[in-house]
Amino acid sequence: MAINWQAEAAKYEKDLLADLTTLLRIKSERDIEHKTDDAPLGPGPAKALQAMLALAERDGFKTLNVDNVAGRIEMGDGDEIFGLFGHMDVVPAGPGWNTDPYEPVIKDGKIYARGSSDDKGPSIAAYYALKMIKDLGLPVNKKIHFIIGTDEESEWVGINRYMEVEPAPDFGFSPDAEFPIINGEKGIATFAVNLKNIAAKSAALTLQQFTAGIRVNMVPQSATAVIGGQLPADFDAQLQDFTKANHVTATTEAKGNATELTLVGKGAHAQEPKAGVNAATYLATFLNTFDFDPAGKTYLHLIADFMHEDSRGHKLQINYTDKVMGELTASPDMFDFNQDGNKQIMINIRYPQGTDASQIRDQIESTLGEDLVDVTINGHAQGPHYVSGDDPLVQTLLGVFERQTGLKGHEQVIGGGTYGRIIERGVAFGAQMPDQENVMHQANEYMPIKDIMAAVAIYAEAISELAK
């Protein structure tokens, strides 16, 4: 009997939105400052995981909780394991929201909240696809493991712990990207650029502090500098001209004998820095024209001359393009300068096959000058990942997408990193529709409800095809 997947999915919309609202209300940002033995990544991620597993238990699925950092929803039996990979953690809400980021709002057919598109919305769509298959009694001849992580936006603690103690799926997909498919993901590494000590010297102005960024995978929306000394008489006029010419905003405030200057741009996911307006590099570019102390001047110079408006790394001389995976992207996302403390810049880089993190590190240090900086790889670099377009997994998923949407499927490679890369035959599949605005990691994140429901139908047919 032919199944009308869209019609079947539509029956679940009311219940799905109620469950999604429950998840979106949980502030599941990584919060290790408040970690406990029962919540190693903080109370929010653990609570969101428990809430997701509770939904599955309510609906009769078998579940597993791994140390409150990862979990599993199970269905079916067989010799092979088909995996789904979602996550309940979110990046910090950050500034710029028109509504409470943790009180979901439905407006104009869209649900607004942090995590609506990354990744609670897509994850609940995949869950309801499983529920639909279960309710319809469709044949399942493989084990289906829907694996839920709680640290995808940071260090992958949850999924790595899961893979240490539980069997890895043989193949599968992550509902954490876009359609028609993501079968290639660039390598990801963050580089810490630390300014070496520079002898002090008198100057008209002193850069006391320069701060920006809340996560290494988010283009900073705002940046703040604290400036000591007497500002030039035309400082405000120059600032006004700069902000007007560059479509950013700025405010100044007296702080004792210093001035605090805050500039606001636009946040974005670091996988495509062009989608944002990096407040830190704009602020450094403006300040770089003034007479600062040696350490401050050097810090501003490095940002303005080697990082501003150069998302492909040409100025750092790390630009690289692969014919399959595309261009390297570079996004300076975290800034921490204190006249008497840290003087650091964190650059998030997504690189294609053909280069590697060690080579990139060496080139950044060489370009900026070994006498001025030390450059280190911050944490673990993830290498590029690619599943051939000829793989039956890719072909099946593209076929389902084409049948349900009427659109032509094609391979894609992204700079984002998903759990799809955790296994050799893993890809990302939806839930963002082609040509839909990408608002992941941005203020006022949302997902169209019609797209969530379309994803339920697509996922249900895809899972049914792959697990039968």
On whether both 284 and 273 belong to a single domain, the answer is yes
239-246: long-range contacts (C-beta < 8 A, 24 or more apart)?
239/286, 242/286, 246/282
Tens of pLDDT, residue by residue over 396-433, are: 999 999 999 999 999 999 988 899 999 999 999 999 99
Q: Rounded distance, CA 159 to CA 238, Å?
A: 49
Q: Is 89 a catalytic residue?
A: yes
Q: Rounded distance, CA 243 to CA 263, Å?
A: 9
On whether both 368 and 426 belong to a single domain, the answer is no
Which residue of the set 19, 67, 89, 445 is catalytic?
89
Q: What is the pLDDT of residue 391?
A: 97
Q: What is the CATH number of the domain that holds 419?
A: 3.40.630.10
Kindly state the average pLDDT of the residues 380-401.
Answer: 96
- Is the pLDDT at 1 greater than 80? The verdict is no
On whether both 395 and 376 belong to a single domain, the answer is no
Please report which confidence band the pLDDT of residue 190 belongs to, taking 50, 70 and 90 as the band edges: very high
On whether both 162 and 284 belong to a single domain, the answer is no
DSSP 176: S
Of 343, 359, 382, the last residue of a domain is 382
Of 382, 411, 433, the last residue of a domain is 382
- The domain tally of the chain equals 2
Q: What is the pLDDT of residue 379?
A: 87
Which residue of the set 8, 119, 152, 176 is catalytic?
152
Kindly state the average pLDDT of the residues 310-319.
Answer: 98
Q: Is 293 a catalytic residue?
A: no
On whether both 163 and 192 belong to a single domain, the answer is no
pTM: 0.85
Tens of pLDDT, residue by residue over 205-228, are: 999 999 999 999 999 999 999 999
Kindly state the average pLDDT of the residues 50-67.
Answer: 98
Chain-centroid distance, C-alpha 115:
11
On whether both 35 and 176 belong to a single domain, the answer is yes
Look up tokens 């290498």; give the residue: 383
Could you tell me if 220 and 308 are in contact, meaning their C-beta atoms sit under 8 angstroms apart?
no
On whether both 139 and 212 belong to a single domain, the answer is no
Kindly state the average pLDDT of the residues 80-107.
Answer: 96
- Is the pLDDT at 385 greater than 70? The verdict is yes
On whether both 418 and 443 belong to a single domain, the answer is yes
Q: Rounded distance, CA 282 to CA 264, Å?
A: 9
On whether both 53 and 91 belong to a single domain, the answer is yes
On whether both 169 and 29 belong to a single domain, the answer is yes
On whether both 219 and 127 belong to a single domain, the answer is no
Of 382, 399, 431, the last residue of a domain is 382
Domain interval for residue 350: 188-382
User: What are the distances in angstroms from CA 149 to CA 156, 200, 259?
Assistant: 8, 48, 43
Instruction: Provide the mean pLDDT of the chain.
Output: 96
Q: What is the pLDDT of residue 165?
A: 98
Q: What is the pLDDT of residue 417?
A: 87
